[in-house]
Every structure is written in structure tokens, then in C-alpha cells.
Amino acid sequence: MRTYFPKAGDIKPQWFVIDAEGKVLGRLSTAIANIISGKAKPTYTPFLDTGDHVIVINAEKIVLSGKKETDKVYRHHSLYPGGLKSKAARFVRAEKPESMIEEAVWGMLPKNKLGRKMLKKLKVYRGTAHPHQAQQPEALEVKE
């Protein structure tokens, strides 16, 4: 018996909309990473991009558990001496809440070309409006 590998024509990605209002960041990110990587599909293949597209709305209303709102620190280094930049989660939420979800999902994807390709299927927006109505996305409820 031969192993089945899906061909490019067999992979038909779907579009999903997830409302982040009141959802915990880590649990939501895990669900998104599973959808984007295609692990929930029977045609999942580790070295192929078989996942679906995900649109996340209301990114500013995501919930952080515990004291992470004040204690969690997002760091970035410019690769120059003394180039470490740090911000608490409450400041990141005020300036760019989309990056909180994007960074959490990126941490759960493979760190290679395929992972970068998967991350491009994630679209995160503040508020309820998004420019992807033409793709006819389905509403998807994520369990807490």
C-alpha cells in the first residue's frame, strides 16, 4: 500500500473568521495555529501547506490571564549594541494589539520557509470590519 500525498490541486483552503472578544490569548493562538497548519484535516502532511486561512477580528479585546497584562514583556533587538527594546503587554495592546496574536501564533508554527508561508494566511484586525468579504469566510467558534 502506498502513502497518500495530496497534490496541489487537491488542497482547497477555506476561510474562517474568529472573533477574539473575551478569548484567552494562548488558547486562541493554539486553535489558530492548528487551523493554519492544517493539522485538523485528514490530508495533513508535515512538509506541505494544507492549512486554511484565518481572519481574526476584535484583536484589541483579547484577554490575558493572570498578571500578564503588566508582567508580560515583548522584546525586540535591532542587532546593534544596546539595541534591546522592551514593552509591557498593556502598551503593546494600546499601540498594536494585532502583533500580540501574530507573535503568539508564530511561536507555535515551524521556524522555516513553510512556517513563514503559513503565517501569511493569518489576518488580524482591530474592530469587526475586514476586507475579505469576497472570500466568503465562515464564522468559527473557538472553545475556551
CATH code, domain carrying 126:
3.90.1180.10
pLDDT tens digits, 44-93: 999 999 999 999 999 999 999 999 999 999 999 999 999 999 999 999 99
Q: Domain range spanning residue 125?
A: 15-65+94-139
Global pTM exceeds 0.85: yes
The domain tally of the chain equals 1
Say how many Å lie between the first and final Cα of the chain, rounded: 40
Cβ atoms of 33 and 102 closer than 8 Å: no
Beta strands in the chain (DSSP E): 15-19, 53-57, 73-77, 84-88, 122-124, 138-139
At position 65, the amino acid (one-letter code) is S
State the alpha helices, DSSP H only, in 13-83. 25-37, 68-71
Q: Is 105 within a domain?
A: yes
Beta bridge partners of 123: 55
Mean pLDDT over residues 95-99, rounded?
96
